[in-house]
């Protein structure tokens, strides 16, 4: 018996960040779009909880109890009075420490997979509650599509999307730590008045219309200056993608993956090729969104 769950990556088309709260987190207006790059989490019964991982970045994935997939299995098991004795295997295609919610995807995927394997029958609300305990982006990995996240980003409202958006992603040669990027955001903003984060009406309208030009004009990421401050070479990647004809270029979440919105699959191929040729990134991928959230892909 085993269960495999497929979970998408995300790009933040808007990431508005408020001042640091007393609990260390920041209030956000976070517009998530799930895109078609996936991790697959397979869970099988085992003598004890263990995690394995395959994929190009597998050597950077922690295999101990700090892995969000392991923490998800433990959290669900504890709530249902059982042991979390499973083997969690992660087939990783989402970049590690890349600002695309790869770790969050594995947490949401393990939760859905364990729920199915164990026949726990947890409600959607219970799963979302566990996701929010695991991390700010984990609830979105569960639901996918497009959503506005407020609070830490975990309080979600699903958004209508009127079309498919084509993206190119440039993966960097190293990762960035999310807490470090938020700390840099705080440092850069010291002494300034940071407004409360609000979702952009233009951006939500562009998503609802499925209009890539309008979306390109409305995207924003308040963490981008902080990511660029810690990783200045990213400016060259953004410039290379813009020069190659991307409608817009931005850092994905806390980075360092950079995201390029393009009009159609042909321009995606051209921008991807130009980015690779520029030598400003490690690898490139194309993907479209919205993509569905955590979904059971195989069971038996």
Q: How far is the CB of 269 from ligand C5P (least distance, A)?
A: 33
The smaller minimum CB distance to ligand C5P, of residues 3 and 132, is found at: 132
3-state secondary structure 221-272: ECCHHHHHHHCCCHHHHHHHHHHCCCCEEEECCCCCCEEEEECCHHHHHHHH
10 is catalytic: yes
Pair type for strands 220-221 and 165-171: unpaired
The smaller minimum CB distance to ligand C5P, of residues 66 and 123, is found at: 66
The smaller minimum CB distance to ligand C5P, of residues 145 and 153, is found at: 153
Q: How far is the CB of 80 from ligand C5P (least distance, A)?
A: 23
Q: What is the DSSP string of the chain?
A: --EEEEEEEEEEEEEEEEEEPTTS-EEEEEEEEEEEEEEEEEEEE-SS-EEEEESTTGGGS--STTSHHHHHHHHHHHHTTS---EEEEEE--SPTTSSS-HHHHHHHHHHHHHHHHHT----HHHHHHHHHHH-TTHHHHHHBSEEEEETTTTEEEE----S-EEEEEEE-SS---HHHHHHHHHHHHTTS-PPPP---HHHHHHHHHT-HHHHHHH-EETTHHHHHHH-TTHHHHHHHHHHTT-SEEEE-TTSS-EEEEESSHHHHHHHHHHHHHHT-SSEEEEEEE--B-SEEEEE-
Task: Report the first-to-last Cα separation within the chain, whole angstroms.
Answer: 5
The smaller minimum CB distance to ligand C5P, of residues 241 and 293, is found at: 293
Q: How far is the CB of 153 from ligand C5P (least distance, A)?
A: 5
The smaller minimum CB distance to ligand C5P, of residues 24 and 195, is found at: 24
Q: How far is the CB of 291 from ligand C5P (least distance, A)?
A: 20
Tell me which of 106, 115, 137, 222 is the catalytic residue.
137
92 is catalytic: no
Tell me which of 10, 39, 57, 93 is the catalytic residue.
10
Q: How far is the CB of 270 from ligand C5P (least distance, A)?
A: 34
Q: How far is the CB of 60 from ligand C5P (least distance, A)?
A: 17
The smaller minimum CB distance to ligand C5P, of residues 180 and 298, is found at: 180
Residues that bind ligand C5P (CB under 6 A): 24-26, 28, 135-137, 152-153, 178-179, 182
Catalytic residues: 10, 137
């Amino acid at each position: 018996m085993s269960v495999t769950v497929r979970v998408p990556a995300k790009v933040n088309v808007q990431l508005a960040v408020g001042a640091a709260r007393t609990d260390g987190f920041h209030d956000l207006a976070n517009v998530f779009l799930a895109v078609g790059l996936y991790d697959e989490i397979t869970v099988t019964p085992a003598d004890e909880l263990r995690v394995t991982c395959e994929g190009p970045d597998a050597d950077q994935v922690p295999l101990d109890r700090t892995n969000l997939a392991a923490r998800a299995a433990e959290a669900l098991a504890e709530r249902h009075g059982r042991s979390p004795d499973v083997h969690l295997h992660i087939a990783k295609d989402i970049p590690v420490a890349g600002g695309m919610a790869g770790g969050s995807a594995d947490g949401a995927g393990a939760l859905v997979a364990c729920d199915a394997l164990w026949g726990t029958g947890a409600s959607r609300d219970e799963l979302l509650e566990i996701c929010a305990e695991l991390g700010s982006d984990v609830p979105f990995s569960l639901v996918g599509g497009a959503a506005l996240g407020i609070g830490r980003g975990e309080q979600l409202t699903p958004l209508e999307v009127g079309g498919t958006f084509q993206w190119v992603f440039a993966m960097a040669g190293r990762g960035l730590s999310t807490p470090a990027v938020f700390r840099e955001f705080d440092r850069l903003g010291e002494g300034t008045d940071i407004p409360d984060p609000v979702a952009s009406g233009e951006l939500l309208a562009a998503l609802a219309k499925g209009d890539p030009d309008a979306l390109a004009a409305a995207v924003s990421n308040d963490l981008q200056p902080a990511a660029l401050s810690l990783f200045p070479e990213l400016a060259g990647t953004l410039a290379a993608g813009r020069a190659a004809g991307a409608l817009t270029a931005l850092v994905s979440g806390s980075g360092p993956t950079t995201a390029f919105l393009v009009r159609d699959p042909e321009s995606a191929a051209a921008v991807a090729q130009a980015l690779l040729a520029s030598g400003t990134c490690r690898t490139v991928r194309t993907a479209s969104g919205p993509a569905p959230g955590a979904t059971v892909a195989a069971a038996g």
